[in-house]
Structure 1
Amino acid sequence: MLTYDELTGPERELWDAFPEGRRVDLRTGVAEEDRVAGGGEWGPGRTVRAAVIAALLLGAHATERPGAVGSLALTGARISGRLDLAGARIDHPLWLEDCWFEQGVNLFGAETRTVAITGSRLPGLEAGSTRIDGRLDLRDSLVTARSVFSFHPEITALSLIHAHVSGGIVLNGAELSAPEGWALSAGGLVTEGGVFCRRGFVAHGEVRLPGAQLPGGLFMKGARLEGRPGSRGVALALDSAVASTLNFSGGFTANGTVRLRGTQVSDNLTFEDAFLNGTPGNSRAPALIAMHLQAVDFDLTLARPPSGTVDLRGAQVSNLHENEHSWPQTVELDGFVYGSIKTAGANGERREAVGDRESVARRVAWIRSSPGYSPQPYEQLATWYRKAGHDDDARRVLLARQRHRRRALAPAARVWGHLLDVTVGYGYRPWLAGVWLLALTLLGTAAFDAGSPTAVKRGEGAPFQPLVYTLDLLIPIGGLGQRTAWYWTDGTLQWLAYALIAIGWILTTAVIAGVTRTLQKN
């Protein structure tokens, strides 16, 4: 146990100030001398042992004075030794500002009040399984991974695995540096007041929050994430997390994959004006993985197209917001469900772009960027057009689906598909059948008018009429009496008659299918 006589001058000042919660400021007032980056050169007049801080927080000088609340508030100090408070129960807030730590801070399994280490430099903070009744504030601090804690299998700058913070976590302006490991490891984190990584927040290494519970949201507006190098270049892993809001806007930059697999967002997920760069030098690596994501508003109005693929398989959103930069060359869309699509214009206005062929063509190209063929993205887009009252656009999408599907068929089936396409547009353009019928009627009438047919029974039946005869061949239902009364000795005209009969059956079948689709709104 430390005694008062063993304390240095700065430590005695801190000891005396603790019961009243007074701040001890060891700065000189000279900007050059007070730069935290040079804290390793600060001498004994600005040095406080970590053991003294731990002793005060653990009750070594807990004398309460009337009208005062004890807390430890220290500014501009060099902290020597490791501040080890693992498993401790701490009833006093900790406020450290502009301090330089010789070794890391260990709060593993502790129960504590607010912990604020702002504007400081420290080699690692272990706060796994910690319960903080208040907030964790690391604003403008640099947390590196030079100190490796035995509790963690990876090199980690800030560990909050299974931590519970009743207030918020403030990392605005902070820098977490573990280029070959995890800048932030917070799997299973629960924080009720939100996580704030704004105003120049930078992470070198992977930011991990799998399974995190974030009812207050995660705010990374303007943040920059430098993922792990190489094939494991993940910048942000937020798999299976639950959050009210995820804000990656205002110039948010991810040099690595952003992974949101199975994440549930009860309100807004936004990447407005963000940069999703994927893994530098690897365009096939995913820039965004959001498989089975659930969100109300999903804003993907990026500042420029993603450098890697976007995977939205199985995702469900109520409102999708996009712009000209939203989609890369490859997008995985199988199972992606949305209630509406709104496109952001040059003036920032957002509207549902329906009712024009250019819009349909662009969205069909969006679907075709998916590897392979899947009918669901086409059906989903057609459903949206139909709900918006644009049945013609829905039919264009479904026609594009059939054309895409044709590529995967056997050669004979592809030939048949081409025939259905040019004749009736797979039934989605039944008016084409009328055009073909008119053209074939004119062709047959002209050809048969130039020939001399032979009567099946001489002197019986109606006289030969080329127009009526052609219509009798083309229309397979019923009969006009011409086809059974006349035949041709001219082989060419007889084969033409057979061809018109076959084409008539094809066109009639296609027309029936097209009318059925129209009536069924499919």
Structure 2
Amino acid sequence: MEELSRKKFRDLSEAEERVVRAASDGTEADCRLGGGSDPEKVDTWPATRNVRADLIRWLCIDRAASEQVDPKGIQIQGARITEPLDLSFTNVPFPLVLSSCRLEQDLNLKSAKMPLLSLQGSWTGAIDAEGLKLEGDIFLRKGFNAEGEVSLIGATIGGDLSATGGTFKNLKSDKNPNPTGYALSADRIKVTGGVYLRNGFSAEGAVALLGATIGGNLDATGGTFKRPNGNALNPDGTKNETALNADRVEVAGGVFLRNGFHAEGEVRLVGAAIGGNLNAEEGTFRNPAGNSLNADGIKVSGDVFLNNGFSSVGEVRLLGAEIGGNLDAEDGTFKSSNEDALSADGIKVSGDVFLSKGFRSAGNVRLLGAKIDGQLEVDDAWLDLLNLDSAHITGRFLWQNIHKEPESYFPNKEWKTSLDLTNAKVGSLADQAASWPEKGRLRLDGFVYDRITAGPDAKVPTDARVPVDATARLRWLHSQPDELGFRPQPYEQLIAVLRQMGYEHQIAKVAVAKQTDLYEYERSDLGRWGKFWSWFLYRSVRYGYEPWRAFIWMAILVLAGSIVFSIARLPALRVMVPSDQGAYESDETTEKAPLPHYYPQFHAFVYSIDVILPFDLGQKSHWRLHERRPYDFVYWLFEFYSLLQLFVGWVLLLVAAAVPAGFIKED
């Protein structure tokens, strides 16, 4: 091997001699011949550490030379690789390991094939490895540093892609005046094992994994991702604000963006498919002007964790996502300069959703049209708005301990929580009265719930109980905005639930309040007569729930009539007279003479009853109102009252009878 190399290359450096010798022996060529081991301090390295890129290429592609290379491959430690190393379109039959080396110019591995590639601890320029095919792993870890874009677009990795502790920079410089904006491009890469961008991994410039296929995990635990600086553009001409783009990625395992993960710029997982969990526990996502995490249409077989110190500045999007387990945002912090902090319209969750244990959202939380097979727990939380318009929650909706006091993350913020349950449906409702929104910040039209799950509990403070009494629930209904107008459905829903729960004694209050509120709503469509009829039913029988009130009113009417008709019988008026001619003449001729013995005496109270009843008690048939002279005003006054009492009495009787007959329906 040494003889062949000397014929090809004259004046081999000491490091090159070691490389040739070690390649044939299957050992590592230690080229650290003074100047330390840090590739960053390459200026202190002597020329004896130089290894020409052409020598490495010759060892890889020359048949005579490569046949003498040990199957363990080329292993070089601490060398300065001069000139560009071009192994594009080559088929290297052995591993290539360059540890803690300094590659002073670019590395070209386009469409190359080899068993394994390791650049562990090495410093390089740009790397073009599009279409690279590796039977095993690729190591860009433990101090690896690339200044320029590392491209693995369309590569095939038979093992792992490990960049743990690696640094990827694609910044504007004298050597790189027009950076692409991408630090690591791995679109459509296929990795049989896992992809590890963790524990000290750092990228300044976008990391792209669009359409990648990963057989293991995508693990970015503790990794740092920063959007491109300057004015790097996307292919469509828009500014590149992406820190990590994994749209349409397919991961058989889990995706871990946790425990110190930090992103400055948008993290994208749009349309991704994840076989395990999406775990962003204690992760930090910052993109104040846009989306911090965009996972629209993502499919996660396991759980999604945005919890335990998760922090987002910018909008988190999960529109149309499908989650096979839980969505856990306990102790998560969401902040957005736009209206929405967490948008999950149309999300489908097979398990539970937790917005609790210190959950904070300075911005709207949207779950419009969400489908949650488990429960939605909102407990010990600070939030501006929870929008559940048209959401469907199979289990319990828990709403309690909603804080209004300042919170340490937002010490100067005034919390005024709103809750929109328009057209939502939940299995059961467990809401705390103390956590109800203020007047005008609650929407309930179309809200359907099967039951209220808890009632008063002596062991629980009053303000922590879930109320089921009509008085409290009416206060809840009246928290809706006045500008919405009268909406009957919330009342009817509460009545149905109270009836199903056996609280019959509470139903009447709600039903009466419903009709009263309808009557008092000035812009309703009742009309003048409709409002009068509603008022009459309320006063007379409480809309059918208290029919006995009609008889009280009739009793009052009878008493009033007895007074009026007593006055009509006074001698000074003589408006009430006997109906019989003989008795009338006797009554007219003398003021004190008794009536004929056969004639019944006048009783004002009984006469008043007789006016109302449809049958005769003997008073109205023997006594009548008499017009003393033409156009007798006094007579017509009493006649009008008599007809009015008759009409009102008959209406009260009919209303009282109509309730048990079902003509006046409750509710």
Alignment of 1:271-420 (within 5 A): 271-277=378-384, 287-295=385-393, 296-304=395-403, 307=416, 309-323=418-432, 324-330=434-440, 331-342=442-453, 347=460, 353-354=467-468, 356=469, 358-366=471-479, 371-406=484-519, 407=521, 408=524, 409-420=526-537
1:468 alignment counterpart:
606
2:210 corresponds in structure 1 to 108
Instruction: Indicate how the Cα distance of structure 1 residues 12 and 386 shifts in structure 2: closer, same or farther if over 3 A, else same.
Output: closer
Alignment partners' CA distance in 2, 1:348 and 1:161 = 45
What's the secondary structure of 1:198's corresponding residue?
Answer: coil
Indicate the residue corresponding to 1:34 in structure 2: none
Cα 1:12–1:23 change in 2 (3 A) is closer
Number of corresponding residues: 467
- Over 3 Å counting, the alpha-carbon distance change for 1:50 and 1:217 in structure 2 is farther
Residue 520 of structure 1: CA displacement?
Answer: 6.8
Give 1:138's aligned residue. Answer: 257
Distance 1:176 1:247 in 2: 20
Pick from 225, 236, 249: which aligns with 1:122?
Answer: 225
Structure 2 counterpart of 1:353, one-letter code: P
Q: Once the two structures are aligned, what percentage of the paired residues are identical?
A: 24
Amino acid at match of 1:267: G
Residue 227 of structure 1 corresponds to 336
1:403 deviates by: 1.1
Partner Cα separation in structure 2 for residue 510 and residue 2 of structure 1: 99
CA displacement 1:89-138 (0-9 Å, x = unmatched): 11121222122212121000110131111222202110111101111111
* Secondary structure of 2:352 counterpart: strand
Paired residue for 1:99?
Answer: 201
1:430 aligns with 2:538: no
Per the TM alignment, residue 267 of structure 1 is displaced from its structure 2 partner at its CA by: 0.6
AA matched with 2:101: G
- What does residue 283 of structure 1 align with? none
Q: Residue 85 of structure 1: CA displacement?
A: 0.8
Superposed CA offset, 1:402-421 (max 9, x none): 11111223345334433332
How many angstroms does 1:367 deviate by? 5.7
Deviates more, 1:356-365 or 1:491-500: 356-365
Letter in 2 for 1:78: T
Amino acid corresponding to residue 465 of structure 1 in structure 2: H
- The unaligned stretches of length 5 or more in structure 1 are 27-45, 63-69, 146-156, 278-286
The yes-or-no answer on 1:268 pairing with 2:375 is yes
Q: In structure 1, what is the Cα distance between the partners aligned to 2:473 and 2:372?
A: 29
What residue identity is the alignment partner of 1:165?
I
CA contact (8 A) 1:58 1:89 kept: yes
User: 2-side partners of 1:402 and 1:497: how far apart?
Assistant: 31
Deviations 1:363-406 (A, max 9, x none): 44346767211111111111111112222311211111111111
The TM-score, its normalising length taken from structure 2, stands at 0.64
Task: Say if 2:154 and 2:187, in contact at 8 Å, map to a contact too.
Answer: no
Quick one: distance in 1 between partners of 2:148 and 2:218?
15
Instruction: Note if contact 2:397-2:428 (Cα within 8 Å) is conserved in structure 1.
Output: yes
Amino acid corresponding to residue 603 of structure 2 in structure 1: Q
Q: Distance in 2 between matches of 1:5 and 1:208?
A: 42
Q: CA deviation at 1:194?
A: 1.2
Secondary structure at the residue paired with 2:375?
strand
Structure 2 spans left out of the alignment, 5+ residues: 1-84, 88-95, 103-117, 123-134, 171-182, 227-242, 405-414, 570-575, 584-597, 627-633
Confirm or deny: 8 A CA contact 1:427 1:517 kept in the other structure.
no
AA partner of residue 502 (structure 2): G
Asked if 1:502 is matched to 2:639, the reply is: no
Deviations 1:56-101 (A, max 9, x none): 9744xx6xxxxxxx53445443223421110111112122212221
Please say if residues 57 and 92 of structure 1, whose CA atoms lie closer than 8 Å, have aligned partners that are also in contact: no
SS of aligned partner of 1:226: strand
Give the residue type in structure 2 aligned to 1:77: G
Superposed counterparts of 1:18-33, under 5 Å: 25-26=142-143
SS for the counterpart of 1:249 is strand
Name 2:295's counterpart in structure 1: 186
Tell me how far 1:461 sits from its aligned partner.
6.6
Secondary structure of the residue aligned to 1:505 is: helix
Matched with 1:88 is 189
Bigger radius of gyration, 1 or 2? 2
Question: Which residues of 2 match residues 51-62 of structure 1 at below 5 A?
Answer: 54=152, 58-59=156-157
In structure 2, relative to structure 1, the CA distance for the partners of 1:107 and 1:463 (3 Å cut) is same
The aligned residue for residue 580 of structure 2 is 457
Q: Secondary structure at the match of 2:247?
A: coil
Displacement after TM superposition at 1:19 (Å): 6.1
CA contact under 8 A between 1:165 and 1:192: conserved in structure 2? yes
Q: Secondary structure at the match of 2:374?
A: strand
- 1:206 maps to what in 2? 315
Matching residue's letter, 1:495:
F
How much does 1:12 deviate?
3.8
Structure 1 counterpart of 2:611, which letter? L
**Given the superposition, is the C-alpha separation of residues 235 and 360 from structure 1 closer, same or farther in structure 2, using an over 3 Å criterion?**
closer
Query: Quick check: 1:222–1:252 contact (8 Å CA) kept in 2?
Result: yes
Provide closer, same or farther for how the CA distance between residues 457 and 132 of structure 1 changes in structure 2, counting only shifts above 3 A: same
Residue 217 of structure 1 and its aligned partner are, at CA, apart by 1.9
1:459-510 deviation per Cα after TM superposition (whole angstroms, max 9, x unaligned): 48743222221112233x3333433432224434333222211211221232
Contact 1:204/1:227 (<8 A) preserved = yes
Change (3 A) 1:130 1:55: closer
How far apart in 2 are the matches of 1:468 and 1:55?
A: 104
Please tell me whether the aligned partners of residues 174 and 200 of structure 1 are also in contact (alpha carbons under 8 angstroms): yes
Relative to 1, partners in 2 of residues 1:185 and 1:479: Cα closer, same or farther, differing over 3 Å? farther
Report the CA distance shift for 1:52/1:288 in structure 2 as closer, same or farther (over 3 A).
Answer: closer
Q: Is the 8 A contact 2:315 2:340 kept in 1?
A: yes
Name 1:284's counterpart in structure 2.
none
CA-atom RMSD, angstroms?
Answer: 3.2
Shift of 1:338: 0.5
Distance between the aligned counterparts of 1:513 and 1:189, measured in 2?
Answer: 59
Question: What SS does structure 2 have at the residue aligned with 1:429?
Answer: coil
C-alpha distance in 2 between matches for 1:190 and 1:100: 27
